[in-house]
C-alpha cells in the first residue's frame, strides 16, 4: 500500500515537473475515476485526490437484472466525421460479443463511450443498468478495459504497473494475477520501457483479467501477441465466460472471433450493419458460386441478387442472395462446364460487408 501511495504521489510530482509520461498516466487515472484533470490546480493535487478517493460500492441489486451493455441511439461525431451513428446494441450477461470492423469503423469510439471517457453527441449507454455518462465511477467498478493504444508508465516495472492498475480498479484476484504472469510468460521485474510491444500488451491484458471484472471491454486485445500467447488469451476468455463474466471484444482477427464469440456485431463507417450468431449471419448472406463456362462469360451485373462477381478467363465467381434461378438461366446460355456453390466463410461475410468491390462506404 505504502508503495502505491508513493507511486501516485510520485507521478504527481513528476507531472508537475514537466514529465509527459507521468502526466498522461494521471490523465488515465482521472478518466478511471471519472474526474476532469482541469478541475485540479496541480498534478500533485489530482494524484492526492486519486489516492484518497473512497471506493464506491457497486450497486449489486440493480446490476443483476440489467444486461451487461445497453446502448440506445448512441452517437458520436467529430465535426463532419460520424464516428458512431445511432448504435442500438444489447449484450446480455455472460455473452462474448465480437465487435468487428475495419480501421476507422468506430470500435474504439464505442468502447470510449461505454466507459464514459468521451461524451456522446446523442443517445446513451448503460453498463449493468448504470448510466455510463452520469455515473462512470460506478460503471467502472464492473468493468476492466484493454485500450487499443496502450500508454503505460515507462519507468515503472511490470509488477509496479500491475500494482498501480490494480489499485485504480480496486479489486484484484492476486492468486490469479500471479498465475496469469506465469501463463503469459511475463517477466514482471523489467521496466515497462524495456518491454517489447507484445510484452506491453500482455501486461495490460493481465491487468484487466486479474480484476475478474463483470465486464471486460477489450479493444484489439491480441495486437502484438504471438500465436502461443493468443491461445493463452483465448483460454482466459473462455475461463472468464465460464465464471459468468461478459466480454466485449473488438477485433480484426476473424478466426479469433469465430473461435471465441457467441455473437458477432459488424460495424462499418460508424453504423452497425449486422449483429447475430455466426449461424444467423451465414443464413442472411449470399451463397458463393463458382462456375466454369464453355463459352464467353455473360454480363451478370444486371441479374437480381447477384453481386461481387469476378471473371478469370472462363471462370466466374459471384455471390447470390435469394433465388438462384435467374443466375442459372444466364449461365446456362453460355454452357456450364462445372459449377460449385457453398456457404460463405466468416472472412467472406466480413468482406461482403465492407471489403468487396461493391461494398465501399
Ligand atoms: N478524437 C478524435 N477526433 C477526430 N476524429 C476522431 C477522433 N477519434 C476518432 N475519430 C474518427 O472517428 C472514426 C472512428 O474512429 P475509431 O478510432 O473509433 O475507429 P476504430 O474502429 O477503432 O478503428 P481502428 O481499427 O483503426 O482502431 C474515424 O474516422 C476517426 O478518424
Ligand atoms: Mg480502434
pLDDT value, residue 358: 38
**Could you identify the residue written with the cell 443517445?**
123
Nearest CA to ligand 1 atom 31: 104
β-pairing verdict for 336-342 and 271-276:
unpaired
pLDDT value, residue 189: 96
Rounded to the nearest angstrom, the distance between the alpha carbon of 219 and the centre of ligand 1 is: 13
Query: What's the predicted TM-score (pTM) here?
Result: 0.72
Using a 6 Å cutoff on CB, does residue 147 contact ligand 1? Answer: no
Nearest CA to ligand 1 atom 7: 78
The ligand placed nearest to the CA atom of residue 75 is 1
The dihedral built from the CA positions of residue 275, 277, 281 and 284, taken in this order, carries a sign that is negative
pLDDT value, residue 282: 65
pLDDT value, residue 59: 45
CA distance 253 to 237: 15
CB-based contact 327:306 (threshold 8 Å): yes
The ligand placed nearest to the CA atom of residue 83 is 1
Q: Which ranges of the chain have pLDDT less than 50?
A: 1-3, 57-63, 356-361
Rounded to the nearest angstrom, the distance between the alpha carbon of 78 and the centre of ligand 1 is: 9
How do residues 129-172 score in pLDDT, each as one tens digit?
999 999 988 898 899 999 887 788 999 999 999 999 998 888 89
Rounded to the nearest angstrom, the distance between the alpha carbon of 291 and the centre of ligand 1 is: 40
Radius of gyration of the chain (CA): 24
CA distance 114 to 134: 12
pLDDT value, residue 8: 86
How do residues 202-234 score in pLDDT, each as one tens digit?
999 999 999 999 999 999 999 889 999 999 999
β-pairing verdict for 246-251 and 263-268:
unpaired
Domains and CATH numbers, the chain: 2-52 (no CATH), 60-280 (3.40.50.300), 286-343 (3.30.70)
pLDDT averaged over the chain? 86
Q: Is 99 helix (H, G, I), strand (E, B) or coil?
A: strand
Contacts of residue 351, Cβ cutoff 8 Å, sequence gap at least 6: 359
CA distance 223 to 336: 45
Using a 6 Å cutoff on CB, does residue 106 contact ligand 1? Answer: yes
φ, ψ of residue 302 in degrees (nearest 5): -100, 0
CA distance 114 to 140: 10
Query: What are the counts of helices (DSSP H) followed by strands (DSSP E) for the chain?
Result: 14, 14
Using a 6 Å cutoff on CB, does residue 108 contact ligand 1? Answer: yes
Rounded to the nearest angstrom, the distance between the alpha carbon of 104 and the centre of ligand 1 is: 5
Rounded to the nearest angstrom, the distance between the alpha carbon of 313 and the centre of ligand 1 is: 41
Amino acid at each position: 500500500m505504502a508503495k502505491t501511495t508513493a507511486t501516485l504521489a510520485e507521478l504527481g510530482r513528476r507531472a508537475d515537473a514537466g514529465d509527459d509520461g507521468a502526466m498522461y498516466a494521471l490523465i488515465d487515472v482521472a478518466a478511471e475515476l471519472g474526474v476532469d484533470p482541469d478541475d485540479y490546480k496541480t498534478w500533485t493535487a489530482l494524484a492526492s485526490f486519486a489516492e484518497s478517493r473512497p471506493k464506491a460500492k457497486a450497486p449489486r441489486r440493480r446490476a443483476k437484472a440489467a444486461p451487461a451493455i445497453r446502448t440506445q441511439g448512441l452517437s458520436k461525431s467529430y465535426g463532419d466525421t460520424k464516428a458512431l451513428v445511432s448504435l442500438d446494441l444489447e449484450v446480455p450477461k455472460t455473452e462474448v460479443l465480437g465487435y468487428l470492423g475495419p480501421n476507422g469503423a468506430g470500435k474504439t469510439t464505442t468502447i470510449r463511450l461505454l466507459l464514459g471517457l468521451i461524451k456522446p453527441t446523442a443517445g446513451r449507454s448503460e453498463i449493468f443498468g448504470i448510466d455510463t455518462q452520469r455515473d462512470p465511477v460506478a460503471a467502472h467498478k464492473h468493468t476492466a478495459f484493454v485500450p487499443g493504444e496502450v500508454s503505460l508508465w515507462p519507468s515503472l516495472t511490470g509488477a509496479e504497473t500491475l500494482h498501480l492498475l490494480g489499485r485504480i480498479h480496486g479489486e484484484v484476484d492476486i492468486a490469479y494475477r500471479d498465475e496469469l504472469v506465469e501463463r503469459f510468460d511475463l517477466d514482471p521485474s523489467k521496466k515497462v520501457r524495456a518491454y517489447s510491444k507484445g510484452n506491453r500488451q500482455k501486461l495490460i491484458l493481465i491487468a484487466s483479467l486479474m480484476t475478474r471484472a463483470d465486464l471486460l471491454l477489450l479493444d484489439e486485445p491480441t495486437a502484438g501477441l504471438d500465436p502461443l500467447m493468443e491461445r493463452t488469451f483465448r483460454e482466459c476468455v473462455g475461463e472468464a465466460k465460464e465464471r459468468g463474466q461478459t466480454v466485449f471484444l473488438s477485433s480484426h482477427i476473424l478466426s479469433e472471433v469465430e473461435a471465441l464469440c457467441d455473437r458477432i456485431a459488424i460495424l462499418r463507417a460508424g453504423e452497425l450493419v449486422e449483429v447475430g450468431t455466426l449461424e444467423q449471419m451465414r443464413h442472411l448472406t449470399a451463397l458463393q458460386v463458382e462456375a466454369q463456362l464453355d463459352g464467353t462469360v455473360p454480363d451478370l451485373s444486371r441479374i437480381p441478387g447477384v453481386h461481387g462477381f469476378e471473371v478469370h478467363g472462363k471462370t466466374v465467381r459471384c455471390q447470390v442472395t435469394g433465388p438462384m434461378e435467374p443466375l442459372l438461366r444466364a449461365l446456362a446460355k453460355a454452357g456450364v462446364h462445372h459449377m460449385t456453390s457453398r456457404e460463405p466463410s466468416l472472412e467472406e461475410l466480413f468482406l461482403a460487408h465492407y471489403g468487396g468491390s461493391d461494398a465501399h462506404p
